[in-house]
Every structure is written in structure tokens, then in C-alpha cells.
Structure 1
Amino acid sequence: MTAQTMLIGNRSCRIYGEPHAEHLLLQMTGEHELQGIGHEVTVIAQSSWNFLFAAVPVESWNDTLSPWEAPAVWGKQGFGGNAMDTLRFLTEQVIPTLKQQLRLPENIKIILGGYSLAGLFALWASTQTDLFYGVAAASPSVWFPGWMEFEQRHPIQAQRIYLSLGDREERTRNATLAVVGDNIRTLHSQLIARGADCTFEWNSGGHFKDADLRTAKAFQWGMEEHT
């Protein structure tokens, strides 16, 4: 599946798929992920659904995708808490532009997804709006300080939520990151208890293994028909 490039605002977005799509898949993408995006989309395309996929680049990963400020967890770079600006860019520029220029159906099902901090961003974004039909959160950073308490006060509104984690991710000496396993189990249980269509899948390996495949699986599940 070949990509076309579309300039939206000041960002060069990669667009894959067909205008007559049933699903619009959006992924906030860091520079470190761009090499794997083509392979990820090829895997997603093994499903039988017609979709349009937009990779929306982010410049400062930690700042652009974090919902509020937080200190550094590894290295020296903390989190700037600019997710609201990113969400506004998606809802006010990216989605309207794609719908208009590619003549997408007005009621197209939008799935917001991503890996790691982009997965957390997708979960957080769906606490702010009911625009997203689904969330595809692969190895999301649910260890983020304050996230679990925030989600209790501002519940996720998406109809369908995919969660995954590598089975080695919680085995870390970093006390902040080590809560990721307990947090994602709790989040899954709470979403199920609220009646959400939600699944949780374990993947083998640590956080940096098969990110493109894990994210592709997340988007595939979001498009599947569930009974």
C-alpha cells in the first residue's frame, strides 16, 4: 500500500488507503517510528476492512503527547503536558481536512491509536471527546503519574478499546514504570465493568519489541466485528 503525503497545518502527514473507507485510523507518530509505518499499514491491510490510515508526525514526543507536566522518568527530559494542543490540531485541522479533501463519509468510524506515549495520548484524548469510535492503545504508558486517578474522574468515552502490554514491561527496576502492569490490568477491569467493548492482550517481550506489529494488531481489532 503506497503512501501519499498531505500537508496539514505545518505537518507532513502520510496517508495510506482508500477515500471510500469505512474506518479512519489516526496515529500520532514520532520520527523513530516512521521507518516501520509502511510495514504496520501492510499488516493492518491483511484485514478485510477498507480503511484510510493517517500518520500524523509529532516533533517533541514527550511534550506533545503528555496530558500534563511530569518529571523525567528516564534520562533528563521531562514531560511538557501539551496533549490538549495536539488533540485540538487533530479535531480542528487533521480530521476536517481529511474528510473534505478525500471526501470521506461524514459518519466514518475514527480510531485513534498509537504506541507507548502515543497510546496513552489516544486513551486520554477519548476522555475529552466522544469523537473517537475506538482506541488502539498498544503498550500505552499507563504508568504516567496521575493517569489512573484522572481516568476515574474523566472516563474514556470510546465504544471500543484495545489494550496490550509486553510480558516483560513491568519487570523493571524503575519504580514509576513498574506499575504499568497493575495499572493496565485495573484499567481493563474497570472498562469491562462499565460495559465497554474492551480487550487486553499480552505480547511477548519488553517494551521495544515489535512496536509496528503490536500497533497493527491494535488497529485490526478495532475494526473487527465483535458479538
Structure 2
Amino acid sequence: MTAQTMLIGNRSCRIYGEPHAEHLLLQMTGEHELQGIGHEVTVIAQSSWNFLFAAVPVESWNDALSPWEAPAVWGKQGFGGKAGNTLRFLTEQVIPALKQQFALPENVQIILGGYSLAGLFALWASTQTALFSDVATASPSVWFPGWMEFEQQHPMQTQHIYLSLGDKEEHTKNAVMAAVGDNIRTLHSRLAERGTDCTLEWNSGGHFKDADLRTARAFQWVMEESR
């Protein structure tokens, strides 16, 4: 599937797919992910679904995708807590531009997905708006300080949620990030108790293994569930 570039605001977004699609897939991406996006979309396209996929770049991964400020967990870079700005850009600029440019139906299903911190952003965004029918996350950063407490008070407003994690991710010496396993199990149980259609898939390996394939599976699952 060939990419085209579309300038939205001041950002160069990569767009894959066709007009009049029944699913609009959105993924916030960092520079480190762009190399694998084409392969990810090729895998998603193996499903029979008609979709438009937009890879929306972020300049500062830690700042743009974090819902609130937090100190550094590894390295020296903390988190700037600018997810609200990112969500506004998505809802006020990206989605309207894509709907207009590609003649998407008014009832198009909008699916927000992502890997790692972009996965956390997708989960958080669905606590802020009911615009996203589905959330597709792979190895979301549910270890993020304060997330579990926040989500309990601000439940996600979405129909289908895909969660996944690598089976080695919780086995880390980093005490904050080691909570990711217990947190994702708790989140999955919490969603199930609320009656949300959700799944938790475990993958072999650590955080950085097969990120493109894992994210593709997430999008495939939610499109299948939303039939």
C-alpha cells in the first residue's frame, strides 16, 4: 500500500488507504517508528477491511503524548504533559481534514491506536472524548505515574479496547516500569467488569520486539470486533 503525504497544520502526515473508507485509523508516531509504519500498514491490509490510515508525527515524544507532567523514569528527559494539545490537534485539525480530503462517511469509525507511550495516549484520549469508537494499543505505558488512579476516576468511553504486552516487559530493574504487568492485568479486569469488549494479548519478548506487527494486530482486532 503506497503512502501519500498530507500537510495538516504544520505536520507532514503519512496517509495510506482509499477514500470513502469505513474505518479511520489514527496513530501518533515518533521519528523512531516511521521506518516500520509501511510494514505495519501492509499487515493491517491483509484483513478485508476498507480503511484509511494516518500516521501523525509528534515532535517531542515524551511531552506530546504524556497526559500530565512526570519526572524522568529512565535517562534524563521527563514528561511535559502536553497530551491535551495533541488531542486538540487530532480532533480539531487532523480528523476534519481527513474527512474532507477523503470523503469519509459521516459515521466513519475512528480508531485511535499506538505503541508504548502512544498507546497510553490512546487510552487517555478515550477518557476525554467519546469520539473514538475503538482503541488499539500495543505495549501501552500503563506504568505511567498516576495513570491507574486517573483511569479509575475517568473511565474510558470506547466500545472495543485491545491491550497487549511483551512477556519480558515487567521483568526490569526499573521499579516504575516493572509495574506495567500488574497494571495491565488490573486494567483488563477493570474493563471486563464494566462490560467493555476488551482483550489482553501476551507476546514473547521485551518492549522493542516486533512493534510494527504488534500494533498491526491491535488495529486488526478492533476492526474485526466492531463489525
Q: How far is 1:226 from its partner?
A: 6.5
Q: How far is 1:20 from its partner?
A: 1.7
Distance 1:225 1:176, change over 3 A: closer
1:23-172 → structure 2 map (5 Å cutoff): 23-172=23-172
Structure 2 SS opposite 1:162:
strand
Q: What count of residue pairs does the alignment treat as equivalent?
A: 227
* Letter of the structure 2 residue corresponding to residue 122 of structure 1: A
Structure 1 SS opposite 2:199:
strand
Q: How far is 1:63 from its partner?
A: 0.1
Distance 1:98 1:212, change over 3 A: same
Q: How far is 1:78 from its partner?
A: 0.2
- Distance, in Å, in 2 between the alignment partners of 1:224 and 1:101 is 26
Structure 1 SS opposite 2:76:
coil
Structure 1 SS opposite 2:212:
helix
Query: What do residues 62-111 of structure 1 show as CA deviations (whole Å, max 9, x unaligned)?
Result: 00000000000000000000000000000000000000111100110010
Structure 1 unmatched runs, 5+: none
Structure 2 SS opposite 1:156:
coil
Distance 1:58 1:159, change over 3 A: same
- Distance, in Å, in 2 between the alignment partners of 1:197 and 1:108 is 19
Query: What do residues 16-71 of structure 1 show as CA deviations (whole Å, max 9, x unaligned)?
Result: 00112110000000000000000000000000100000000000000000000000
- Distance, in Å, in 2 between the alignment partners of 1:75 and 1:116 is 16
Percent same amino acid among aligned pairs?
86
Query: What do residues 134-187 of structure 1 show as CA deviations (whole Å, max 9, x unaligned)?
Result: 000100000000000000000000100000000000000100000000000000
Structure 2 SS opposite 1:169:
coil
Whether the 8 Å CA contact 2:18–2:51 is kept in 1: the answer is: yes
Q: Which residue matches 1:6?
A: 6
Distance 1:226 1:15, change over 3 A: closer
When the two chains are superposed, the root-mean-square deviation of aligned CA atoms in Å is: 0.8
Structure 2 unmatched runs, 5+: none
Q: Which residue matches 2:207?
A: 207
Query: What do residues 106-134 of structure 1 show as CA deviations (whole Å, max 9, x unaligned)?
Result: 11001000000000000000000000000
- Distance, in Å, in 2 between the alignment partners of 1:52 and 1:197 is 23
Q: How far is 1:225 from its partner?
A: 3.6
Whether the 8 Å CA contact 2:160–2:225 is kept in 1: the answer is: no
* Letter of the structure 2 residue corresponding to residue 124 of structure 1: W
Structure 1 SS opposite 2:111:
strand
